[in-house]
């Protein structure tokens, strides 16, 4: 399919950090996507969660299924707007690679533990995974992805961190935009998690349809579905509503963005990057509806006492693991002890802490629970 002139393409790519010969039968971004899929961090997404702890039930989203849903929505948007589908798929599949076990509770706990050592931020960690932590190739550490994939993965960044990051950090200092592909995946992520948290929230019975009817975005689709299918109930009702919510957001996004792109008429990708404002966006009305849904989810789902109880445990586990490894590195597997010693030699206590954070962040939910038991439980003497 023909790409728009402002889409990312192999010919205008800013390339890879370590130069490699061009792939024979794939595009550069297909190669990036394939590298993500074969990475260890990608496989571990299967056992990491966002809201619900992994062993709570097989029906909830994990970070892996979330990433695949983001990729699906991204690919639809790419085709409609003639953007680079392979690049958008790459960014979508990679965007959560740096997440700790136990979702945001895990990230906050690790960030606090790393307070004196430069902090921890999952989005920055996603970039660290693809730039440094995956060890798969003889010629370089990391996956050596193209600039455009790395630019898309780094969604946000503090000025302090931007200064150390080099090329991908520049736009945060200059207050410029990333590619349209990166902008679109970012919003596809939002569409995916808002709608699947509604679905998982209902499934878990932490929230109810009656409560959700207070939210306009939900209510509109609820009225539409029940009008077309009187008597519909249960999972069919929920799924019909959720798919309509996704669809209405995608349609709003592509129509609003197409109009903005036409008005701005960027000649190429560089023109997109030079802008003060993003060209990919929801309409104002949809932004408002989205905010309302987010507020609802925050109050009724993310702060639900059962979710809070899980988060408290998760915080305790992550913090305890970090402390245990910091205080006694011999608790780490030998391979990680070697990595830690190298980092400590190069950067002192900061390097040591970063090595521990990398190790803990890489854990899946169940591995973290298991490791906590192995270290702290009196009944686990193996």
Contacts to Mg ion by CB under 5 A: 96, 189
Min CB(193)–Mg ion separation in Å: 6
The radius of gyration computed from the CA coordinates of the chain, to the nearest angstrom, equals 22
Min CB(67)–Mg ion separation in Å: 7
User: How far apart (Å, rounded) are the C-alpha atoms in residues 275 and 74?
Assistant: 22
User: How far apart (Å, rounded) are the C-alpha atoms in residues 111 and 218?
Assistant: 34
Please, which residue, 28 or 96, has the CB nearer to Mg ion? 96
Q: 116: which DSSP letter?
A: G
Min CB(45)–Mg ion separation in Å: 10
User: How far apart (Å, rounded) are the C-alpha atoms in residues 353 and 41?
Assistant: 20
Please, which residue, 103 or 351, has the CB nearer to Mg ion? 103
Please, which residue, 96 or 121, has the CB nearer to Mg ion? 96
User: How far apart (Å, rounded) are the C-alpha atoms in residues 206 and 186?
Assistant: 27
Q: 4: which DSSP letter?
A: P
User: How far apart (Å, rounded) are the C-alpha atoms in residues 79 and 85?
Assistant: 7
Please, which residue, 96 or 108, has the CB nearer to Mg ion? 96
Please, which residue, 4 or 64, has the CB nearer to Mg ion? 64
Asked if residues 126 and 97 have their Cβ atoms less than 8 Å apart, the reply is yes
Closest-by-Cβ residue to Mg ion is 189
Q: Phi and psi dihedrals of 49, rounded to 5? A: -120, 170
Please, which residue, 78 or 324, has the CB nearer to Mg ion? 78
Smallest Cα–Cα separation from 192: which of 85, 309, 75?
75
Please, which residue, 54 or 144, has the CB nearer to Mg ion? 54
Min CB(266)–Mg ion separation in Å: 27
Asked if residues 240 and 248 have their Cβ atoms less than 8 Å apart, the reply is no
Please, which residue, 189 or 365, has the CB nearer to Mg ion? 189
**Where would I find the H helices in the chain?**
28-37, 40-44, 63-81, 85-94, 103-113, 122-128, 147-153, 159-165, 170-174, 180-203, 209-212, 216-228, 234-264, 269-273, 284-297, 305-327, 334-362, 365-376
């Amino acid at each position: 399919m023909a790409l728009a002139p402002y889409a990312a393409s192999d010919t205008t790519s800013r390339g890879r950090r370590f130069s490699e010969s061009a792939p024979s039968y794939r595009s550069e971004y297909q190669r990036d996507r394939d590298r993500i899929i074969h990475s260890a961090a990608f496989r571990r997404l299967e056992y990491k969660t966002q809201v619900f702890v992994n062993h709570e039930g097989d029906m909830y989203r994990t970070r892996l299924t979330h990433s695949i849903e983001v990729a699906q929505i991204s690919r639809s948007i790419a085709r409609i707007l003639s953007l680079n589908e392979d690049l958008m798929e790459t960014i979508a599949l990679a965007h959560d690679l740096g997440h700790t076990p136990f979702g945001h509770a895990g990230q906050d706990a690790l960030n606090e533990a790393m307070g004196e050592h430069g902090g921890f931020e999952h989005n920055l960690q996603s970039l660290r995974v693809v730039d440094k932590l995956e060890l798969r190739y003889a010629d370089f550490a990391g996956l050596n992805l193209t600039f455009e994939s790395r630019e898309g993965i780094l969604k946000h960044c503090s000025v302090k961190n931007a200064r150390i990051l080099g090329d991908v950090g520049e736009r945060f200092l200059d207050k410029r935009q990333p590619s349209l592909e990166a902008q679109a995946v970012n919003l596809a992520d939002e569409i995916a998690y808002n709608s699947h948290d509604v679905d998982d929230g209902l499934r878990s019975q932490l929230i109810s349809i009656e409560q959700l009817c207070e939210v306009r975005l939900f209510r509109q689709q609820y009225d539409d579905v029940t009008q077309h299918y009187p008597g519909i109930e249960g999972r069919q009702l929920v799924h019909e509503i959720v798919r309509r919510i996704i669809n209405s957001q995608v349609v709003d996004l592509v129509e609003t963005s197409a109009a903005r792109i036409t008005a701005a008429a960027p000649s190429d990708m560089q023109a997109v990057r030079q802008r003060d404002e993003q060209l990919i966006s929801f309409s104002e009305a949809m932004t408002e509806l989205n905010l309302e849904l987010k507020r609802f989810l925050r109050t009724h789902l993310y702060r639900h006492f059962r979710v809070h109880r899980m988060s408290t445990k998760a915080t305790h586990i992550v913090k305890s693991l970090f402390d245990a490894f910091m205080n006694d590195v011999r608790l780490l597997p030998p391979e990680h002890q070697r990595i830690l010693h190298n980092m400590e030699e190069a950067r002192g206590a900061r390097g040591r802490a970063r090595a521990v954070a990398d190790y803990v962040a890489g854990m899946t939910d169940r591995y973290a629970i298991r490791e906590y038991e192995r270290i702290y439980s009196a009944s686990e003497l193996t």
